[in-house]
Structures are given as structure tokens and as C-alpha cells.
Amino acid sequence: MYTAPFDYRRAHDTQEVVTWLQEDPDNTKIIAGGHSLLPLMKLRLASVARLVDISQVAELQGIREDMGGLRIGAFTRHAQLAKDPAVREAAPLLASAAAVIGDMQVRNRGTIGGSLCHADPAADLPAALLALNAELVIAGPGTERRESLDAFFLAPFITTLAADEVLTAIVVPRMVPGAKSTYLKRPHPASGYPVIGVAAWVSVSGGRVEDCRIALTGIGPVPFRAARSEQVLTGRAFSREAIAEAAREAAGSGTLEDDEDGYKSQLCQVYVSRALGDIAQGAG
Amino acid sequence: MEDSRVVPVTLTVNGKAIAREVEPRTLLVHFLRDDAGLTGTHVGCDTSQCGVCTVLLNGEAVKSCTVLAVQADGADVLTIEGMEEEILHPVQQGFWEKHGLQCGFCTPGAMLTASYLLSTHPHPSEQEIRESLDGLLCRCTGYETIVRSVQRAQEIMDERRESADRETRAI
Amino acid sequence: MADVIGSALKRHEDIRLIRGKGQYTDDMKIPGMVYASMVRSPYAHARIVAVDTAEARRVPGVQAVFTGRDLKDEVGMVPTAWIPPDSDMKMTPHPALAYDFVRYAGDAVAVVIADTPYIAQDAADLVRVEYDAMPAVTNPRDAAKEGAPLVHEDIAGNVAFHWKAGVSVDEVFNKAEVVVRHEFRQQRLVPSAMEPRAAVAQWNAATDELTVWVTTQNPHIHRLLMSGMLGIPEHKLRVVAIDVGGAFGSKIACYPDEVVVSWAARKLNRPVKWTETRSENFTVTTHGRDHVEEVEVAGTKDGHIQAIRVKAYANLGAYLSTAAPGVPTILFGLIVNGAYAIPHASAEVFGMLTHTTPVDAYRGAGRPEATFLVERMVDLYSEAVGMDPLAVRKINLIPADAFPYTNPFTLQYDSGNYQGALAKALEMVDYQQFRKEQDNLRKQGKYVGIGFSTYVEMCGLGPSEVAGAVGFQGGLWESATVRVHPTGKVTVFTGASPHGQGEETTFAQIVAQELGLPPEDIEVVHGDTAKIAMGWGTYGSRTTVVGGAAIHMADQKVIEKARKIAAHKLEVGEDDVAFEQGLFSVKGLPARTVTFQEAALDAYLAWSLPKGMEPALEGTAFYNPENFTYPFGTHIAMVSVDPETGDIELMRYVAVDDVGIVINPMLVEGQIHGGLVQGIGQALYEGAEYDDQGQLLTGSFLDYAMPKARFFPKFETAHTVTPSPHNPLGVKGVGETGAIASTPAIVNAVMDALAPFGIHDLPMPLTPRKVWQAIAAKGGTH
């Protein structure tokens, strides 16, 4: 299959990207790894007049310390996230989620920024990044803004990103001592996308849950935090009973899709329970 | 900057530089098959699932149907045709000895995927091998002989490494 | 020299394939070649009001745009080559490009031919087709209902044929102690060979010859059918398939696409290539299975099955594909009693037309459907009479001393020892221990199950007389030429057309063994009608059985002639010459010898041949089998089910297959593995689904769950060996056994695991969601 013709430009800095987006925002698309966009273009489900390749933009690359956290360039590929020592140390949840995206070949091309901006409701990274309280750095015409990931996803494939904006980096707070995390994924047998992906981050002190964040992806129109589960758990002993109760609240924390038979609710409960169980048993 | 209908690209494919002017929409796999004349890399789907088009791009396994040739400008590409040096690559030898192929269509992608796996995980477990094949669909073998082929390739790599070490010591 | 037959020789074909030097159809490049892209209907059923090609024609680089009307009077209908007898079969006129109605989503209405495939696709998107959409029907039983939309206006009730076999079993059922009834849905599968189809056609205006390189399992059948459609005589039409990237039945049929490019190549006097996209492969290349089956079993209270009655609605899609009518009839209905001595049986099949992709052979073709229903019914019957399914199998399996066994449909099972295969499988699985553990685990809320499939199948198609009697419009014999060169090297020409099975190696092993030559001295040539006079191709697990036997016969002719030459040279009578391991010797005087190579050279020099003997050394044979072969075996699956999620884990899979004499054990194991994954794929993962409008909902590898490596444990395989008595090599087919046997073994195992919930059956594929829903409907896990 062949994409329709398009024009191609290779950008060298972020402002160049923004300028080109401004020229024709409706028909210009950024290509990063291309693993979301190119299949759609080949099936001719997406039509694009101009592609802007950001692979040569140095500002979008690299992982560095940033105010107690990590600043991850939007062009960082999944495979890099999975193996990068700084990510594994400071945000192991992100590394473990990146390690189970798609397949090995996809992880070698796909990027964190591409995944977030594409906003496929069945993507792995949003769960991990929501549970990590990640913040996005977004460049626009002459501006730069920061936005919490919590507010970023509006609907399937729709985010707050304006047509002339570019995501430049993702800032992830450093793991606090005593915190543990895990990403538990149920891959679709065909696509490999999560049918449900649960990212759990729990900080325990003296046997009690000091703080926790649980995020779900793949199961609803947008990834969401299981706020009700978090409320149940926070301040409680990290016990089997607390986990069971928290798991029961997971489905009610967000909007599920395709749940007429209750199966998706069940998956929420089972996967939140298992993810928290893994953490409790020290596997996280 | 002017947009143009064709863009120049230069790729080093199997050690040989190939420069062409291509439409931006030219996929790497078509560049390899049509421009470089290397038809060992196949196309098996259009949604980036099957992995039969897998090649190594700067040493990393990628699906060449989901990479534009312009995105690969300046890169090193290794295809099935470049795997064999003086003797068969251990992965080729492993696939041959352990019946890792039947129709042969997914085989180039399977072998490059396997060689990438072994370059990053020299001693994978059976489960790791199976998981590394998530991005490869084979309809013939049932995968088990592919797993055995990868295990055999790893043995051959170890054997060759040992014998190279012995030769070095002998000198 | 050690025996070559029976050794795990590395494959000859791999030498090119592991180097990326295979020659698949899409690898063809011819100077001046242009590329075709098809314009296909998005509607499952519509009247074509108008086709506007003007805009497409204006695209720079477009050479031509043709519509159905352009081909209508120049290209014949795509034919159907199997007409089941006494079934009142109606032909379904199938134009290569539709011009009045489209009958499934994917039906081609126009073709664009351009300088590059990119341009061809761009322009194909600009062909404007005006459709008048009409209602569609996709389910085979719905299609039979009063008022269902008709697929072909003049075929009433959408019934393409109504076929029956066996005699009435009503009386047995009326008197039976136990009757078990069940309805099964054999879901539709997408064969999904990794190589999409392709065709390259080149017209030679000087000689009026057309050469077509095409992804086919049977080049000679393609030549025959295309000759008729294109009006090009067979001797001016060459069909070539060098390397074919898997097929599984989906490359038997003659498709419109290859006919269209062939016609266009002549029309334009340019080589034309068409390569299918995966999306097209999902919607256009034939699908498999898709039955609704009503099955009844009658038996005694103590476990003796007396009769089986089957009524099936087979979904054949919008047109009757090349071999389609034979699949759910001859290859299904005649063997629904399976491996059991069920004295009474009858089968009735409605061949139904629907607004869906045509259905034809898919690995096993009819026999997986038959095996599934009888193996499932044995379990359901066991449950009804309160007996262990293994015990019921032991009671009803055909005894070893009953062979050749004539089944209720008069098929003659050639040889078997079903108890032997079962016993071997039970050596590998401690059944009683499993049952004990199962009990213990159930008490802990864990659910494991074990499932059997003690199967038999018919393959090695087949005797040509039978082909004629059952309405197959071709022969089913096979040809072989064994050409010995002056140096004693050998080229073998076979009419079979292997495409992954490895017969370039297996056939060389037969010749190496029989002529006493090193296997590397033997080259096997296949897949080219210009090189091989005639042949019937590779399907129905026939290649080694029929093609291999033909080679064996050709070998005998070569040996006979070479023996005469050797005797002449040794100055003894022919009867006094022994031939062993490539050496002719005088009986009793082992020192006096002539090598096979010397005899070959003499044959070509012809300086001193026996009086009246023609020079050269080659043998040609045409082998027409006496019967099908009947491989059999026992498969055992062990699964665990997670009641919280419905997940099924395949813990162990044991397969004991008896495929007669094994020529290359490594290749046989490979065939079984591949079949298992396809059969297990049907049980657990795969299923094509349409919506009410006839849109395929599972049209890509993102939705259609092809089995992946991580889904499976190591398979445990073993063999018993019961040679086929009528095949000169003693071989039976092996290509389809894994796919035939495994599906019911898995479903039986899952149902065994779910028994505590009172769940007896679920429709395939057994997705976790279905399993969980069923458990939830029964009140959950408590």
C-alpha cells in the first residue's frame, strides 16, 4: 500500500517546526517515529499535504535531569526509554511500560512524543505517565507552555495541542524513596495494544499507603486516573482487603467503552488488583 | 524552503552507498526492492504488524514498510542479502539446521529480527525469544522451529566466538 | 550409505531462501512493466449505476483504465471446477470485473494500469463508481430464510446446491436409548498466507504466447482454466510459480485478478504486474470454513455410538470459487463418522450463497469441520451417558483388525491402528493423575481441563476415477519425469507444486534412496508449465503421497533401463544383475560391477546399447492412486482457565500422528507444528466477522488474531507408523493433520475445564471474553 503524495521537510529546530505548522496548520503533520501516522497514511485514512520530520531537531532529543525529575525529549524512542539507565532509576514505571509497547521493531522507531500526540486511547505510555504525574513541555509560536498530562487528553485522538504547537519534552518527577510501581498490560492478541494497561505507583511508609497513583489505559475513550481507587487506598494499610476494595472502585473512576456485559469493569478490577498485588508482594 | 516532488537520499545498503532521487512517500521497503533491486525484503501487510519486511537500520531491527526512505537518509541498512559474509551468518545457519522456515516468505524478517535479538540479548531464554517474535507473523512453522533456530544460532555464535578466541590465543 | 529416506536432511530450497534469493512473483521485474491496481466495491451488494474513469485517466503515468464493460465480451466467466453430483448445483456467473452487480465488498469493478504502483493506486482512488446499494446477507442460514436478499437473482433461496450422502438413519434415532443434539458454528477463517497474491503477465506478440507468473498451488490447473477464460490455447499459455509464500488452500482458486492482468498484458502489449495488498487479501482472497451445523448422535446408555446425522449450511460467499463446492460436501460429509465404527450415518449440506468473500479450501478443507463436529459430539455424548470421554473413545474407535474399513459412506479407510496411537499418547500423558490433580485444583478454585481428539482424515487426493465420480472437473493423478544426465546427475520434474512443504528435498531423498545417489546430485523442478507437461498441483496433502509415488514409478523405469544397460555391459542376463546403493552387480559375483553413473553415460553415448534400445536415460510416470490415504492419531490438549478473566492457557499439547512411512522427520514435524498452530488458532483466536451490511470487521492483522509465538508452549510430538498399503512408498499425507486434529482437542479441553460451571459448549474462537461471559451467566466463580 502506498500513501498519497505529500511534501516533505526536515526541520532543524523547534521554531522551524512551529513556523512550518503555522504556514498550513490543517494540512501539515509532524512525523516523528511514524509508527502511528504512516500506517494511517498508507491505508489512506489520513491525508497529509506536508510532513515535517523532527528527527534532526536536537532540542527534542535526549534525557536529562530537570528540577528533581527527568526531562525526556519528545523524540526519545520507546526502546531508549526502556533501556536508559536514568529512566530505569528515576522512573522505572516508564521504562517498564515502554518495554512492552507493540513489539521490538516498533519500539525501535516509535517515540514518546509521537505516542502522546497521536492520543490513541489504546496506547501504553499514557497510563505510566499519568501515574507518574508527568508534565508536558509544549512549544508554540514564540511561546512555551507547560501542561499536566492529566489535562492533555480530550477525546480519542484529540488533545489540547494546537495545530501550530509541538510537544518538545515530557518532564517526569523522580521516584521518591519507598515508592514502588508497576505496569501491568493485557495485550490484544492481534494488535498488541493494551486491552487494559494499569500503571500503579504506590508510596508506602510504615505499612501504610502514603500516596498512590493508579492510571488505566486502553479501556476507555481516554486514559484516566483511578481516583476513587486512589482515595480508598491512601492512608490505609496496604493490605489485601484495601487492595480488593480499591480494585472494585477502579471502573467507576473513568468512562469505559464497550462494557455492556461488564467485562471491561471486571478487567479493571482484576488488573488493578493484580498490579497492586504485585507491588505489595515486592514485585513492582 | 521549497517543497519538491522528489528528494535526494543516500543510504548505505549492505555496505554499499546507494543515492537516488525519490518521492518523499517512497517507503524504505520499496526503495530496497525497487531502487536497490534487493527483493529479499518482503511486504506482508500494510498495518505494520507482520514484520516480514524487517531490516536493520543503523543496527536496529525496524519494519521497513513503516519507514520512509527519506527518514532513513544517511543511514546504514542491512538486509537479508547482506547477512552472509564469508560463511553463512549464524542465524542463517541456525534456521537452515533447525528447519526455521517453510515457505521462506517471512524468513528474511525473522532472521533479521533474530540477529537483532541476539545482538542485544546474547543468551535469551525461550520465553524471551518467543516474546521477541511479537512483531513477526509466520503462518507455516508454528514458531517452535524458529525458536530452536534462534537457540541454535546462539550456540553457533558462541562456538565461533570460542574458536576465534582460541585462534587469538594460539597467535 | 545410510538410508536417505527417513533421515532429517536439511532442506535444499533453504539454500536460496535463507539468502533472500527466493523468486516470489512480486520479485519479478521486466523492462517496460506497468502496474495494476484494482478498484473494488465498498458495498457488499449493489447495482453498478455508472463508472466514471475520466479523472483517473488524466493522471500522468496512467496507461489505461478498464472497467467490467471493457472485459465483458473478451473474457469468460471465472469458472467453478467442482460440481458435486446429484446436488442440482447452480453456476454463479462471476465476471472478472463486475459490470452489473457487485456481490461482496471487494468485488472488483475496474482496473487502473500505470507506470508505477504508486500512480496506479492514486488513480484507482479517482475512479468514480456510482452504486445503488442493496441489502446484504452474510450468515448462511439467514440466507436460506424466506425473503433474504438474493446474491444471484436467478438462484432461489440462495441455495447453490443441496447435497446428501448416506442412507436414512431415522429409524436408528427413533429407537435409540440416547440422542444428543447440538448445533455448531464453524467460524469463518482467513487463510492469511504471509505472501499476498500477485501476478505478472507478459505477452509475446511475435509468438502469440502469454506467460503468467502467479502465486498458485497448481499452475497447470491455472493454465487450463485461464486458457478457457482468455481464449488462449494451452500450448500458447505458460504459467509459472517458482517460490510461493504459503497458501494453505487460498492459492488453489483461479482469481479474477490474474485473469485481468493477463488480458491487459495482451491488450497493451506490455508486461503487467499486480500485487495484492494485505487489506485486499483479507477481503478478496478466499476464506475458509464457515458452517452452521446441526448434528445428532444416537447411542446406547453404555457408550456405544450407533448413528450420526449431520445437516450443514455451508457459507460459500458470493461466487462459487474454483474448488469450493467440493469442500463442504465430498471432503466433509463423507467422513463425519470420524475414526469411529459408527454403523449408521447421513450428511446433508446446503451450499449457501451470501454477500461475502468466496469461501474455498483452507488447510484441511472440510475435514477439520467434520473432525470437529464428531470429536465434540463424542464428548457431549459421553457427558450425556455419564461416561469418561476417553472410555467412550476406546469403545467406539475402529478396531485395528477391521482395516481396510468401509465407513457408512463407502469410503475405504486404508490402514490404521487407532488404539496404538492412543496408547502412545497415553504414555506421554498420565491421564488418571491429571484427573486427580484436576479434582484437587477445582477445590482450590482453579480450573484445568483435558481434551482428546482421536482423529482420522482422508487425503492424498486422490484416485481420478473418484474425482470424476464426485464431480471434480480434473484428474487427481500426478506426473513425474526423472531425467538422468550423462554424468549421472538427475533432474526431477514434478507436476506437484510445493510452496513451503519442502518437496525439493523430500523428492530428492526418494530418488537418492532409490537410485543410490547423493541427494545433492538431484534437482527437483516444479511450478512451470513450460517445463512440466502436466500435473495437478499441491493441496489435499497429496504432494508426497501422489507426486512422490509418481517419482518412485519413474525411478523404477530408470532402474529397469539402466539394469539392461548394465547387464549388456557385464555380458550377463538382466535377471542376473542386482542393483543396490547405486551399483549394478552380477548376482553371486559382487566384484563385477557397473555404477549407475557408468550406465547413465553409456545410455547417452549409445555406442554399445542392447539391440533395439533407444538412447538416453529418463523415466516418466503418471501415478493414479488407488485410494486416498487415511492418516490418524491422537491429540491431547491440557489447558487451564482463569475464571476471573476468561483467559485460557495451553499448558501442554501432545500430538501422536500416524502418517505412514516418514521420509524426512524434520519436515514432517514442521508440517505438524504449522497445522497445530492454525488449528489452535481456530479454537482460540481466529475468526472473521461481518456486520449486517456485509463489511468485514476483521480486515487487518490489527483485528484478526493471527497466532503469535508467545501463545504456545513447546509441542510434544510422536509417531506411530502404519504404512499405507496401496501407496508404493507407504506414505500418507501430513500437511493437514495438525489443523484437522487440534481444534476439537482444544475445545474439548476448555469445556472439560469449564464443566464445574455447567458450561458444555461455546462458539469458537474461545476468546477470554466469551469464556468469562459464560462463567458470569452461570453465576460466576462463587
What is the dihedral sign for C-alpha C390, C391, C396, C402? positive
Optimal mutation site among C39, C189, C644, C764, interface A, most CBs of chain A within 10 A: C644
Q: Residue C1: what pLDDT? A: 56
Q: Inter-chain contact B47–C700, Cβ cutoff 8 Å?
A: yes
| Digit-coded pLDDT (tens) for C141-175 | 999 999 999 999 999 999 999 999 999 999 999 99
Q: Which helix (H) or strand (E) holds C94?
A: none
Same domain, B56 and B111: no
Q: Do A266 and C645 touch (CB under 8 A)?
A: yes
Put simply, the chain C residues between 500 and 519 with a CB less than 8 A from any chain B CB are: 500-502
Nearest Cα residue to A75 out of A59, A94, A61: A61
Question: Pairing between strand C108-114 and C34-40?
Answer: antiparallel
Nearest to B132 among A9, A35, A104 (CB): A104
Of B24, B57, B113, the CB nearest to A6: B24
- How high is the pLDDT of residue C276? 98
* Sequence letter at residue A120: D
| Ranges in chain C annotated CATH 3.90.1170.50 | 14-134+194-246+251-284
CATH superfamily of C14-134+194-246+251-284: Aldehyde oxidase/xanthine dehydrogenase, a/b hammerhead (3.90.1170.50)
* Cα gap C619→C603, rounded to integer Å: 13
pLDDT in tens, B27-85: 999 999 999 999 999 999 999 999 999 999 999 999 999 999 999 999 999 999 999 99
The confidence band for A251, taking pLDDT boundaries of 50, 70 and 90, is: very high
For C142, the grid coordinates are: 439467514
- pLDDT tens digits for A29-75? 999 999 999 999 999 888 899 999 999 999 999 999 988 899 999 99
pLDDT tens digits along B116-153: 999 999 999 999 999 999 999 999 999 999 999 999 99
The verdict on B96 and B73 lying in the same domain is no
Is there a domain that residue B1 lies in? Answer: no
Q: How many CA atoms, within 13 angstroms, populate the side-chain half-sphere of residue C518?
A: 4
pLDDT confidence tier of residue C250, bands split at 50, 70 and 90: very high
Residues contacting C628, CB < 8 A, separation 6+ = C411, C414, C458, C459, C460, C461, C462, C463, C466
CA nearest to C710 within chain A:
A189
Share of chain B above pLDDT 70, in %: 98
CA separation for the pair A94, A87 (Å, rounded): 7
How many A-B residue pairs are in contact by the CB < 8 A criterion? 85
**Nearest 5°: phi and psi at C633?**
165, -175
Q: Is residue B43 part of a domain?
A: yes
H or E element: which one contains A32?
A: none
Question: Which of B25, B38, B102 is closest, CB to CB, to C500?
Answer: B102
- Residues of chain C in contact with residue B64, where contact means CB-CB under 8 angstroms, are none
Choose the closest CB to C194 out of B95, B137, B147. Answer: B137
C403 φψ region: left (φ > 0), alpha (ψ -120 to 50), beta (else): beta
Tell me the shortest Cα–Cα distance from C388 to chain B, in angstroms.
31
Q: Given phi > 0 = left and psi -120 to 50 = alpha, else beta, which region is B15? A: left
C336 CA to centre of own chain: 18
How far is Cα B47 from Cα C278, in angstroms, rounded to an integer? Answer: 9
Q: Mutation target for B interface from C192, C194, C251: give the one with most B CBs within 10 A.
A: C194
For chain C, the average pLDDT equals 97
Nearest Cα to Cα of residue C327 among C365, C294, C353: C365
Q: Which tens digit of pLDDT belongs to each residue from C662-692?
A: 999 999 999 999 999 999 999 999 999 999 9
Bridge partners, C117 (sequence order): none
Residue B119: CATH number of its domain: 1.10.150.120
Cβ-Cβ contacts under 8 Å, C12 against chain B: none
Q: What is the percentage of chain C residues whose pLDDT exceeds 90?
A: 99
* Secondary-structure class of domain C288-461+627-777 per CATH: alpha beta
- Interchain proximity C715–B45, CB inside 8 Å: no
Q: How many domains does chain B have?
A: 2
Nearest by Cα to C704 from B141, A218, A257, B49: B49
Q: Which of A2, A4, A43 sits opposite C117 (nearest CB)?
A: A2
Same domain, B99 and B166: yes
- CA-based torsion, C46, C52, C57, C63: positive or negative: positive
- List residues bridging with A209 in a β-sheet: A204
pLDDT for B1 beyond 70: no
Measured between beta carbons, which residues in chain A are less than 8 angstroms from residue C689? none
Q: Are residues B131 and B68 in the same domain?
A: no
Q: Compute the distance between CA of residue C203 and CA of residue C32 in angstroms, rounded to an integer.
A: 12
Per the CB < 8 A criterion, the answer to whether C714 and C654 are in contact is: no
Q: How confident is the model at residue C782 (pLDDT cuts 50, 70, 90)?
A: very low
| A261/C117 touch (CB, cutoff 8 Å), yes or no | no
Q: B82, B106, B121 — which closes off a domain?
A: B82
Does C602 score more than 80 pLDDT? yes
Helical ranges in C445-595 per DSSP H: 464-469, 503-515, 549-570
List pLDDT tens digits, range A147-203: 999 999 999 999 999 999 999 999 999 999 889 999 999 999 999 999 999 999 999
Subunits with 3+ Cβ pairs within 8 Å of C are A, B
- Binary contact (C17, B131; C-beta < 8 A): no
Residue A190: closest C-alpha in chain B: B49
**Domain-embedded: residue B47:** yes
Same domain as B34, residue B64: yes
| Contact criterion met (CB < 8 Å) for A270 and C644 | yes
B neighbour chains, 3+ CB pairs within 8 Å: A, C
What pLDDT shows up at residue A118?
96
Q: Is residue B146 part of a domain?
A: yes
C contact residues 164-223, partner B, Cβ 8 Å cutoff: 192-196
Whether the per-residue pLDDT at C260 is higher than 80: the answer is yes
C-alpha cell at B113: 529480527
pLDDT at residue B171, as a whole number = 73
CA distance C596 to C562: 7
Q: Which residue has the cell 535526549?
A: A62
Q: What's the confidence (pLDDT) of residue C147?
A: 96
CA gap C369, C187 in Å, rounded: 10
CB within 8 A of C380, min separation 6: which ones? C180, C182, C297, C760, C761
Q: How many CB pairs under 8 A join A and C?
A: 44
Three cell numbers written together for C593: 560391477
pLDDT tier at B10, thresholds 50, 70, 90 = very high
Taking the C-alpha atoms of residue A35 and residue A42, their distance in angstroms, rounded to an integer, is 11
At the topology level, CATH places domain A7-53 in 3.30.43
Please list every residue in chain C whose beta carbon sits closer than 8 Å to the beta carbon of residue A262: 776
pLDDT, mean of residues C333-362: 98
| Residue A221 vs residues A157, A185, A186, B106, C485: alpha-carbon distances, Å | 9, 17, 17, 35, 70
Q: Give the residue from chain A lying closest to B74, CA to CA.
A: A56
Q: Residue B4 above 90 pLDDT?
A: no
Q: Is the peptide bond before C765 cis (omega within 30 degrees of 0)?
A: yes
Return the CATH class of domain A180-280: alpha beta
Helices within chain B (DSSP H only): 28-30, 90-97, 107-120, 126-132, 144-170
> Residue C651: exposed, middle, or buried by beta-carbon count in 10 A (0-12, 13-18, 19+)?
middle
The domain spans of chain A are 7-53, 61-173, 180-280
Question: Which of B25, B57, B62 should one mutate to test binding to chain A, selecting the residue with the greatest count of A CBs within 10 A?
Answer: B25
The CATH architecture that domain A61-173 belongs to is 2-Layer Sandwich (3.30)
**Which residue, of B65, B82, B99, is where some domain finishes?**
B82
User: Residue C560 — pLDDT band, cuts 50, 70, 90?
Assistant: very high
Domain boundary among B66, B82, B98: B82
Pairwise CA distance, residues C378 & B52, whole Å: 41
Query: CA-CA distance, C96 to A192, in Å (whole number)?
Result: 37
Distance CA C4, CA A150 (A): 68
- Write out pLDDT tens, residues C31-58: 999 999 999 999 999 999 999 999 999 9
From residue C638, how far is each of C435, C653, C758 by CA, in Å?
A: 11, 6, 19
C633 near C577, Cβ under 8 Å? no
Least CB–CB distance from B145: residue in C278, C673, C700: C673
Contact A8 B70 (CB under 8 A): yes
Q: Do B139 and C673 touch (CB under 8 A)?
A: no
User: Which partners does chain A have (≥3 C-beta pairs < 8 Å)?
Assistant: B, C
**Contact across the interface for B139 and C26, Cβ inside 8 Å:** no
What is the residue range of B12's domain? 7-82
For domain C477-623, the CATH class is alpha beta
Q: How far is A237 from chain B (nearest CA, A)?
A: 36
B25 to chain A, closest Cα gap in Å: 6
Which residues of chain C are within 8 Å of residue B138 when distances are taken between CB atoms? Answer: 194, 709
Report chain B residues whose CB lies below 8 A from the CB of C699: none
A190 touches chain C (CB under 8 A): yes
- Looking at the complex, report in whole angstroms how far the Cα of residue B156 sits from the nearest Cα belonging to chain A: 23
Nearest to A190 among C117, C125, C705 (CB): C705
How far is residue C535's CA from residue C719's CA, in Å, rounded to a whole number?
A: 31
* pLDDT of the residue at A283: 52
Task: List chain B residues with CB under 8 Å of C673.
Answer: 141-145
Q: Count the Cβ atoms, other than its own, within 10 Å of residue C462.
A: 27
The answer to whether A47 faces chain C, any CB pair under 8 Å, is: no
Q: Which segments of chain C belong to CATH 3.30.365.10?
A: 288-461+627-777, 477-623
